Amino acid sequence: MRFFDSIDFSSPADIKNVQGKLLEELIGRTSLYYKDVFRQNNIAPNEIKRVDELPFTTRDDLQRHNWDFLAVQRNAIREIVSTTGTTGQPQFIAMTEGDIDRLAYNEQRSFTYTGAKEGDLFHIAVTGDNLFIAGAAYYRGLIRLGAAVARVGPQNTIRQFDLIEKLRPSAIVAVPSFMLHMARAANELKIDPKDLNIKKAVLIGESIRDMSLRSNALGELVEEAFGDICYSTYGITEGQVSFCECGQKEGLHSHPDLVIAEVVDEAGVPLDDGEIGELVLTTLQIEGMPLIRYKTGDITFKITEPCKCGRNSLRIGPIIGRKMQRLKIKGVTLYPKTIENAICKLKDVVNYQIEAATGENHSDRVILRVGSLRADKAFRDGIIENLRAKARVTPELEIESPDSINKRLYDGGARKAVVFKDVRNKD
């Protein structure tokens, strides 16, 4: 593991140079899986000069050949983490001691972008176990930074407030919707979340920005409650890497010595800045399970121009959806998240579920079910109007009681609310 602490501020040419050397290293010592792929595609590893000369790796490849991706002896494994498996089976990722160091370095750097520093106390409200990589990354990253950590986890709100009041953390790491949940609970307890004196919130798991990089509805709700203290971050288990906003909040910075990020179209052709496509990652300096051109399934765009903060690292926009959730309604392409963002802030909307079914003429049929105690015309019209303005679509709208929606969300004993239900034919 080599650290390039100041690489973000290097010139684009120098960054490219470092990435080229690290790519060479990656191709030089890789797993059984990639040795086979190289052989099948007649690739001579020592002739590869650019990442886009290499074939893609899909989630399906990783799932099917999971342990063939291991590039070290089994006894070099120190930790095993896994993806959540919300879309398909979980994939296991084995990490060496070097990988754990790399993970800490990665997260330390991400926190640095937010201005976190020695002396800060971070309240970590996300889970630290259950094979979840991010909890370990925050913990080790903050310690590496010289900050202090309180590993609270996703406890109930009473416990959260109690610890916040007693420990007075300067910062929090949480999922945006959990912050909202806390804000609502604070309201009931007659606490103003702004009085908690939290100076920084690093938010993971859901996007709080829209395509223009401004706060989306979820971000606005969190900021209304806690103030303008939010930083968006995106992490991916398979890549053992995170992307994070700096103080400019104009995209999420990558760590150029840990990952090569591309955004590609349907046909796998790399896209230019601002063009929307799938995020593809090639991991650098990973020992255990390195990945080459891994198609994440996450949809975003890239920004290569230097950031006003002075860093020259590639940035990505917010994740606007998962590739497999893409909807096509009468020629308009969008993701369920866009629909959610258009309605989640509306008054009297208690809960909702979006269902996609196969429609006619290559169009999807999208039914939006809203849970509310209101069902009058003005309420319906308000929802439709917002969808037209913010999502450019008019799905079928059904209004039900919040209880009935709740039953749909947890139908069949789902552990996590199924906000997007996909019953489209997959052929």
Are 388 and 343 in contact by the 8 Å Cβ rule? The answer is: no
Q: Which residues pair with 264 in a beta bridge?
A: 270, 278
Separation in Å, CA 325 to CA 62, 70, 125, 320, 385: 20, 30, 28, 10, 23
Least distance to Zn ion, CB of residue 307, Å: 3
Cα of 382 vs its chain's centroid, Å: 30
- Written as six digits, the tokens of 121 are 């106390």
Which range, of 171-179, 227-235, 301-309, 383-391, touches Zn ion by CB under 5 A? 301-309
Are 160 and 134 in contact by the 8 Å Cβ rule? The answer is: no
CB-count exposure of residue 244 (10 Å: 0-12, 13-18, 19+): buried
Least distance to Zn ion, CB of residue 136, Å: 26
Instruction: By CB under 5 A, name the one of 143, 175, 271, 309 that touches Zn ion.
Output: 309
Which range, of 74-82, 98-106, 262-270, 311-319, touches Zn ion by CB under 5 A? 311-319
Instruction: By CB under 5 A, name the one of 95, 124, 246, 281 that touches Zn ion.
Output: 246
Local structure of residue 373 (DSSP, 8 states): S
Nearer to Zn ion, 315 or 369 (CB): 315
Instruction: By CB under 5 A, name the one of 248, 363, 394, 404 that touches Zn ion.
Output: 248
Nearer to Zn ion, 219 or 336 (CB): 219
Nearer to Zn ion, 82 or 248 (CB): 248
Which range, of 291-299, 308-316, 341-349, 387-395, touches Zn ion by CB under 5 A? 308-316
Helix or strand (DSSP H, E) at 37: helix 32-40
By CB under 5 A, tell whether 307 contacts Zn ion.
yes
Measured between alpha carbons, how far is 172 from 364 in angstroms, rounded to an integer?
A: 40
Separation in Å, CA 1 to CA 102, 168, 287, 292: 7, 36, 9, 18
Least distance to Zn ion, CB of residue 319, Å: 18
Q: Is 421 helix (H, G, I), strand (E, B) or coil?
A: strand
Local structure of residue 270 (DSSP, 8 states): B
Nearer to Zn ion, 12 or 45 (CB): 12
Least distance to Zn ion, CB of residue 342, Å: 29
Which range, of 17-25, 155-163, 186-194, 240-248, touches Zn ion by CB under 5 A? 240-248
Measured between alpha carbons, how far is 60 from 383 in angstroms, rounded to an integer?
A: 38
Least distance to Zn ion, CB of residue 252, Å: 9
Nearer to Zn ion, 183 or 208 (CB): 208
Least distance to Zn ion, CB of residue 8, Å: 8
Q: Is 379 helix (H, G, I), strand (E, B) or coil?
A: helix
By CB under 5 A, tell whether 63 contacts Zn ion.
no
Q: Note the residues at the interface with Zn ion (CB under 5 A).
A: 246, 248, 307, 309, 311
